[in-house]
């Protein structure tokens, strides 16, 4: 059985620990957190003995007897912790965003090329059943050729605090936190095209912090599709639940959340709706199943030496888009990637 440790024992680490418990094909054997009290509380809930609690990732690595780690720390630690683990042959599932900048993400990729270990980035929406269904539908051509997409990922009347709102610790604000989910989801749904250019307007309107809480990005892809992506914290409104992506195509329309497919009749131009069985998601709209599927995939990739569907390069391309968007907004110009 694959032996896992979580690094950071905050919110998302709890979700991963619950997913590991449900999965049953791997076990949570160790914890890392510089705050021992919170680590102890976490250890009690998830039955990880104090003898396997470590205050640094170095101490975990020196103790040995762990196959893989899930990095659930603030973003500024993702690159150094990933590189340290990969260098010693420990498999890494690192939370999104994989790093603070594209340059940092590149450093992780460099460490990965010299390592035999598996590197997966926790772009969790790739493991959602509806997202996978929609990807297959779009790839089948059921709505013709996609021309443009429109999506968002936003918190309505809510936003995080603490390290999430400090640039030095998070790298960015709502774009790095929320926008990256919408970027990765649309890219996955379109079959992972390469971004060609990025234009963005990003700002801070709702809080007293040095990161962004509102923005719009336009990405052009190498398959001639254009995507607009909106993101934010503390937004006064969203068009539905916290995230959605729409596809405008030559032969119809599709939408993720609520999942809808409409085919255009080529003669009458009337739209026919294809019924799907997915019940409408409600906020908070993230089911535990996607985290279970995500860790299941990670464990399978370790055991069969496959490349994950959210590998380091996927995370890197997302970071290229994020970094280009911040640069575009600052310079008020299109950034070619
Ligand atoms: N995929 C998702 O759906 C999703 C959801 C939430 C958060 N995240 C990502 O997960 C990461 C963590 O977010 P969170 O909401 O759990 O944050 P959090 O603040 O709740 O938890 C961070 C944890 O890291 C610990 N920590 C801080 N410095 C440390 C160090 N030097 N060594 C070890 N541990 C340290 C903190 O004590 C805390 O336990 C972020 O990158 C975030 O973007 C992803």
User: Average pLDDT by consecutive 10-residue portion of the chain (337 residues)?
Assistant: 97 97 96 96 98 98 97 98 98 98 98 98 96 97 97 96 98 98 98 98 98 98 98 94 94 94 94 87 80 98 97 98 98 97
| Closest protein CA for atom 4 of ligand 1 | 12
Look at residue 240 in the predicted model and tell me its pLDDT. Answer: 85
- Whether ligand 1 lies within 6 angstroms of the CB of 81 is answered as no
Q: Which of 7, 8, 108, when mutated, tests ligand 1's pocket best, judged by the most ligand atoms within 8 Å of its CB?
A: 8
The pLDDT, as a whole number, for residue 310 is 98
Distance 10 CA to ligand 1 centre (A): 5
pLDDT at 285: 66
Is the beta carbon of 99 within 6 A of some atom in ligand 1? no
pTM of the model: 0.97
Distance, CA 170 to ligand 1 centroid (Å)? 10
For residue 122 and ligand 1, the question of a CB distance below 6 A is answered with yes
pLDDT score for 241:
87
d(CA 302, CA 91): 7
Return the pLDDT at 76. Answer: 98
Q: Which two tokens stand for residue 281?
A: 């998601």
With a 6 Å cutoff on the Cβ, whether 184 touches ligand 1 is no
Distances (CA, A) of 323 to 120, 176, 195, 326, 327: 20, 9, 12, 5, 6
């Amino acid at each position: 059985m694959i032996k896992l440790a979580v690094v950071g024992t905050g919110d998302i680490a709890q979700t991963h620990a619950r997913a590991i418990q449900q999965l049953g094909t791997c076990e949570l054997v160790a914890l890392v957190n510089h705050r021992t009290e919170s680590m102890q509380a976490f250890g009690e809930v998830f039955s990880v003995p104090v003898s396997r609690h470590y205050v640094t990732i170095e101490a975990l690595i020196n103790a040995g007897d762990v196959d893989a780690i899930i990095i659930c720390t603030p973003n500024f630690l993702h690159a150094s912790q990933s590189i340290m683990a990969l260098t010693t042959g420990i498999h890494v599932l690192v939370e999104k965003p994989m790093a603070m900048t594209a340059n940092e993400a590149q450093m992780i990729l460099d460490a990965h090329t010299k390592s035999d270990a598996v590197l997966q980035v926790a772009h969790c929406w790739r493991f959602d059943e509806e997202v996978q269904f929609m990807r297959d539908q779009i790839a089948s051509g059921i709505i013709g050729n996609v021309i443009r997409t429109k999506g968002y990922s936003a918190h309505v009347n809510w936003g995080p605090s603490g390290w999430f709102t400090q640039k030095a610790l998070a790298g960015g604000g709502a774009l790095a936190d929320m926008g990256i989910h919408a970027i990765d989801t649309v890219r996955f749904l379109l079959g992972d095209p390469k971004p060609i250019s990025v234009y963005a307007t990003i700002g801070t309107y709702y809080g007293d912090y040095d990161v962004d809480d509102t923005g719009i990005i336009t990405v052009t892809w190498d398959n001639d599709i254009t995507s607009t992506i909106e993101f934010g914290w503390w937004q006064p409104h969203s068009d539905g639940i916290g995230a959605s992506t729409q596809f405008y195509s030559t032969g119809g329309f599709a939408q993720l959340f609520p999942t809808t497919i409409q085919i255009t009749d080529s003669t009458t131009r009337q739209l026919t709706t294809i019924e799907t069985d997915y019940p409408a998601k409600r906020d908070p709209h993230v089911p535990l199943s996607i985290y279970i599927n995500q860790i299941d995939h990670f464990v399978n990739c370790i055991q069969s030496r496959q490349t994950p569907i959210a590998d380091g390069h996927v995370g890197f391309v997302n970071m290229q888009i994020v970094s280009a968007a911040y640069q575009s907004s600052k310079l008020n110009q299109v950034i070619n990637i």
